[in-house]
Amino acid sequence: MASTAILLAAGYATRLYPLTQDRSKALLPLGGRVILDAVWDALGTVPDLTRRILVTNARFAEPFRAWAKLRGAKLAIVDDGTSSNETRLGAMRDLELARTQGGAVGDLLVVGTDNLFTWSLGDFVAQARRHHPAPSVAIGEASSKEAARQLGVVLLDETGRIAQLLEKPADPPSTKVALCVYYFPEPMLGRLTQFLQEGGRSDAPGYFIEWLVRREPAYGVPMRGTWFDIGTTEAYDAVVKTWPALAAGLNEPPGAPVGETRRQSLGHKE
């Protein structure tokens, strides 16, 4: 089954200043490498990836091209043409730009480059494909309702269908949250265009899912393992201290129930 991975890396990460004043969050150091290396490694667990696209901004396009050359990565870089946080397009417009101008084929696997996780992207895709042609979202567990207020909170029915998604709710009805990992089958990709044409908010993919589930089925796929949302300097520091050991195989204790996700750090999307 042909599919394309789209990596979202066009934000300016202002909450991480001064660390990200002159580099993308995805290119911050991590265990002798950079964050993007870990995301790229995760793509290696996904079968049938026909194409890989990274969408970024004009300030960081060249550093990403240099990374791809150094890594020997077969990666299309799409520059969204913006140069400041004030002129940013937002994640959904960047996604649509990458899809339409980056040569995407087949289904889309969309991954935010500020998320790290110990579970397998290949496992997520395998489960998501069972819901084809409906889209799927990776689901984690926030550490508290206070933490969930900064994320997209989901309510699932007994079949795993998303009954409701609330982006950054003041009073979260659940601690189950949508991670920035999505599987969008080709038959529903026109909905991305429709959402933007109708004036949907483009700054976070969660607003698209919130809009979509009112119109058609979408499913949540609970994933087991540790995950990080790198949105603040505190969150980045936690990743730097913890990730190398996790990447070496020190993941969840044996026997942890499927769907149990431990969130190590809370950050805000930029």
Can you give the chain as a three-state secondary structure string?
CCEEEEEECCCCCHHHCCCCCCCCHHHCEECCEEHHHHHHHHHCCCCCEEEEEEEECCCCHHHHHHHHHHHCCCCEEEECCCCCHHHCCCHHHHHHHHHHHCCCCCEEEEEECCEEECCCHHHHHHHHHCCCCCCEEEEEECCCHHHHCCCEEEEECCCCEEEEEEECCCCCCCCEEEEEEEEECHHHCHHHHHHHHCCCCCCCHHHHHHHHCCCCCCEEEECCEEEEECCCHHHHHHHHHHHHHHHCCCCCCCCCCCCCEEEEECCCCC
Q: What rounded mean pLDDT belongs to the chain?
A: 88
Q: Is residue 123 part of a domain?
A: yes
162-208: pLDDT as tens digits: 998 888 888 888 889 999 999 999 999 999 999 999 999 998 898 99
Q: Is residue 102 part of a domain?
A: yes
Predicted confidence (pLDDT) at residue 114 exceeds the cutoff of 60: yes
Confidence class for position 135, pLDDT limits 50, 70, 90: very high
Q: Report how far Cα 184 is from the mean position of its chain's Cα atoms.
A: 12
Q: By percentage, how much of the chain surpasses pLDDT 90?
A: 67
Burial (0-12, 13-18, 19+ Cβ within 10 Å), 167: buried
How many distinct structural domains can be found in the chain?
A: 1
The domain that holds 115 is classified in CATH as: 3.90.550.10
pLDDT average, residue stretch 253-258: 35
**Which of the pair, 232 or 82, is modelled with greater confidence?**
82
**Which of the pair, 104 or 227, is modelled with greater confidence?**
104
Q: Is residue 47 part of a domain?
A: yes
Q: What pTM was estimated for this model as a whole?
A: 0.89
- pLDDT at position 264 is 43
- pLDDT at position 93 is 96
Domain span including residue 40: 3-248+258-265
- pLDDT at position 270 is 39
Predicted confidence (pLDDT) at residue 260 exceeds the cutoff of 50: no
- pLDDT at position 249 is 66
Predicted confidence (pLDDT) at residue 268 exceeds the cutoff of 70: no
Please give the Cα distance from 59 to 84 (Å, whole number). Answer: 8
Predicted confidence (pLDDT) at residue 63 exceeds the cutoff of 60: yes
Q: 110-124, 211-225, 226-240: which has the minimum mean pLDDT?
A: 226-240
Q: Is residue 253 part of a domain?
A: no
- pLDDT at position 224 is 85
Q: Is residue 270 part of a domain?
A: no
Predicted confidence (pLDDT) at residue 65 exceeds the cutoff of 90: yes
pLDDT average, residue stretch 75-88: 95
Q: Is residue 226 part of a domain?
A: yes
